[in-house]
Amino acid sequence: MLEHRLNPDLAAQREVLDAIAPQVRALMERHRQSRKLWMPSELLPASEHTDANHEAELREIRSRARGLPDSVRVALALNLLTEEGLPHFHRLVAQYLGHDGVWAEWNNLWTAEEDRHGCVLRDYVRDARLFDMRALEHLQYQYLEAGFNPDWRADPYRLLAYTSLQEKATQTAHANAGRIAGQYEPKLQKILAHICADEARHYAFYRDTFALVLKADTNRALAALAAVAPSLAMPGHTIAGYAQMSEVERRAGIYGPREYLKLVEDLVKHWAIDALDGLSAVGRAAQEKIMQLPARLARMADYIESKAHTRSFSFDFIYQRAFEMAAGTAR
């Protein structure tokens, strides 16, 4: 590839990806063994042969869903839109990890699993009549048409660092949304729990794959993590109203800088970043930057919380109803 001739680092990284392929295959097999493959229609009746019970179930879902607070609806919309960004991610994984062998097999398996998340959430919000669907669909359309091209300089390690963080972030967001939604709508909590279980296993795959890279090519892996982790480029930032939606999600205690800080801390600990030694100057600088990151993220979270005031929000997809939220998070 031209990129490899221009950048010898990339050729070396490709060799590392080839060398760890057998271990990555073992991680993929572990994933296959441990997963439970569910289908969206097992969670929500959808067959031609719906019976009276199914009709009654749908009516109950609708009636319970009416009680969901608007803040939870907004978080759910953002989490749904994030899942629907899958075409961007399928492309990025193929672009950064390649179109052959175990990397392509994983990309296809992972994409097939992820696709169910957007499907089941969309089935739910449609069946439950949670949104002005046209307004939501318009956001989804915009998000896909806008593309998503993070500046990872063709570095495959950045993709692996990013996906490790992002899988945990989505798992956290779905889990917290489910916990809160469950007070009103147990069915929604059940659906979110199914998605969470997938995200937890995806996280384990990417985290352990990145650990292999960290072992085989420590300095470059540290540099990639140091480049990606300080400000995780959120894929949905091109969505109109994204900042306001994220702010609602933060205030609802579903996902925000505190949750990100926690998952960065967990990963830094899991990978034992502080214990890595025999590093080059570049590796040492990256290690230092990563070790300082939790404190930096904590300061950012403090700052955001200190600047926040009670505020009113409204979105087209909830018919521009205005709702107010206090400055802090509702944990």
Q: Is 187 in the site for Fe ion (CB under 5 A)?
A: no
In DSSP terms, 323 is beta-bridged to: 313
Q: Which two tokens stand for residue 14?
A: 């490709």
Question: For the chain, first and last CA: distance in Å?
Answer: 50
CB of 103 closer than 8 Å to CB of 261? no
**Is 88 annotated for ligand binding?**
no
| CA-wise closest residue to 177 among 86, 68, 63, 60 | 68
> CB 244: neighbour CB atoms within 10 A?
15
Total chain residues near Fe ion (CB under 5 A): 6
Q: Which is nearer to Fe ion, 122 or 202 (CB)?
A: 202
**Is 114 annotated for ligand binding?**
yes
What does the DSSP 8-state code read for residue 185? Answer: -
- Residues 113-132 binding Fe ion (CB under 5 A) are 114, 117
**Is 113 annotated for ligand binding?**
no
**Is 305 annotated for ligand binding?**
no
Mark 155-174 with x for binding to Fe ion (rule: CB under 5 A) and - for no binding: ------------x-------
Q: Is 202 in the site for Fe ion (CB under 5 A)?
A: yes
Q: How far is the CB of 321 from Fe ion (least distance, A)?
A: 28
> Rounded distance, CA 83 to CA 246, Å?
15
CB of 263 closer than 8 Å to CB of 165? yes
- Residues 79-98 binding Fe ion (CB under 5 A) are 83
Q: Is 247 in the site for Fe ion (CB under 5 A)?
A: no
**Is 199 annotated for ligand binding?**
yes
Which residues touch 43 (CB under 8 Å, ≥6 apart)? Answer: 120, 124, 187, 190, 191, 194
CB of 62 closer than 8 Å to CB of 128? yes
**Is 117 annotated for ligand binding?**
yes
Choosing from 199, 208, 217, 259, the residue that interacts with Fe ion (CB under 5 A) is 199
> Rounded distance, CA 197 to CA 201, Å?
7
Q: How far is the CB of 51 from Fe ion (least distance, A)?
A: 31
Q: How far is the CB of 306 from Fe ion (least distance, A)?
A: 32
Q: Which is nearer to Fe ion, 4 or 35 (CB)?
A: 35
Q: How far is the CB of 40 from Fe ion (least distance, A)?
A: 13
Residues lying near Fe ion in the complex (CB under 5 A): 83, 114, 117, 167, 199, 202
Binding residues for Fe cation: 83, 114, 117, 167, 199, 202
Binding residues: 83, 114, 117, 167, 199, 202
